[in-house]
Amino acid sequence: MDLNVQQLKDHLASALAPVYLVSGDEPLQIEESLTKIRAKAREQGYVERQVLYVERSFDWSQVTEKSSNMSLFGDKKILELRLPGGKPGTAGGKALQQYCEHLPDDMLLIIQSGKIEKATLKSKWVQAISQAGVFMRIWPLTGTDLVRWVQVRLKSEQLLDDRQTAEYIASRVEGNMLAAAQEIEKMALLAIDDDNSDSNKAWVSSQNKYNVFDLVDTILNGQRNKVIKILGQLQRESFAPNLVLWGLAELVRAVIYTSTQKRGQSKGVQNAFYYNKRNQLGVHANKFNREQLYTLLMKCGQVDQMIKGRATGDVWQSFTDVALKLAR
């Protein structure tokens, strides 16, 4: 059975499937859907829960073994598989297909997967789950769908849910549903005036502040217009230029480190962004040659001299130049 997010509540009100595959790249809707499934399972006596992370060396026999091992106390259990890549591989596909063909009576299987590509939708393991249980594909909402979602969220918190307020919040969070939910929760907790649309706007505007890490993420995503927007806001707020410089310089160094590691020239890298952004940096490193990267690093050095008063120039314009050249 294929379901969307809106259908899940009605589905759980009438039944609990033995298998759920929840796929997508929108974290808020995914987590809220999983929470609803777990809550329904607890109502039906599923008291044990185990989470397994599917990595390259994952042993898929664990799934079949756990499905065949009865609980010593007869308790029902939830087995959750985290499949970030959206592809279990040949062994995993066979294991999941076999599981669906021999469903245990005392286990609920929940698979949280990254976005499943179109070609994979026709695979035997996905089809087996759709036939035995529920397959949900979740994606971020945009445009009028996002505005309607914000309105529903506002109403659930007993806040003003007029379209004007919802459109304003949706535009400020730029499609980030988690950010929208968090701001609405803050508004409710602090009892922001639910009869005044202008007060709601003022609240969201005051909370929507960027920092250096937002700037780095935006550069790596190649969002050049947003780069300009963030730098403009930081400048208006008199944000410390030395912190912006630190972020840009560390990013340039991280790209250089990534580029040299690919050639086997660097070991023991120490960098603020390297380890948790390696995938993005790997893609980014292919866009520059060595000379371009060291030119950007030299530019950062020149800005450092400007900040210290040892050189003349427009610090914030220099930030924009470096950031835009990086945001390819």
Domains, the chain, ranges and CATH?
2-138 (3.40.50.300), 143-207 (1.10.8), 212-326 (1.20.272.10)
* Nearest Cα residue to 239 out of 205, 204, 213, 211: 211
Phi, psi of 27 (to 5 degrees): -60, -35
Statement: residue 258 has pLDDT above 60: yes
Task: Read off the pLDDT of each residue in 169-178 and give the average, rounded to a whole number.
Answer: 75
Higher per-residue pLDDT: 173 or 223: 223
What is the three-class DSSP state of 230? helix
**211-215 CB contacts, 8 Å cutoff, 24+ apart:** 212/243, 212/244, 212/246, 212/247, 213/247, 215/244, 215/247, 215/248, 215/323
pLDDT of residue 268: 47
In this prediction, residue 62 carries a pLDDT of: 81
- The two tokens of residue 323 are 């950031």
Helix (H, G, I), strand (E, B) or coil at 47: strand
**Confidence at 111, pLDDT banded by 50, 70, 90:** very high
Rounded Cα distance between 305 and 242, Å, is 11
Helices (H), the chain: 5-14, 27-43, 61-68, 89-101, 124-132, 143-156, 163-173, 177-189, 197-207, 212-220, 224-236, 241-262, 278-285, 290-307, 315-326
pTM of the model: 0.59
pLDDT in tens, 26-50: 888 899 999 999 999 999 888 888 8
pLDDT band at 154 (very low <50, low <70, confident <90, very high): confident
d(CA 269, CA 200) in angstroms, rounded, equals: 45
Q: Check residue 203 and give its pLDDT.
A: 52
* pLDDT (average), residues 98-110: 88
Taking every pair of C-alpha atoms in the chain, what is the biggest distance, in angstroms? 76
Q: What is the pLDDT of residue 19?
A: 94
pLDDT band with cut points at 50, 70 and 90 for residue 321: very high
Residue pair 16/40 in contact (Cβ under 8 Å)? The answer is yes
pLDDT at residue number 128: 93
Give the strand order in the sheet containing 134-138: 2-3, 134-138, 19-24, 107-113, 76-83, 46-53
Query: Which residue do the tokens 């690919």 mark?
Result: 262
CB 112 within 8 A of CB 30: yes
Strand 2-3 to 107-113 pairing? unpaired
290: its two tokens: 């060595």
Average of per-residue pLDDT across 134-149: 88
For 264-314, the pLDDT digits (tens) are 544 445 565 666 677 788 888 888 888 999 999 999 999 999 998 888 999
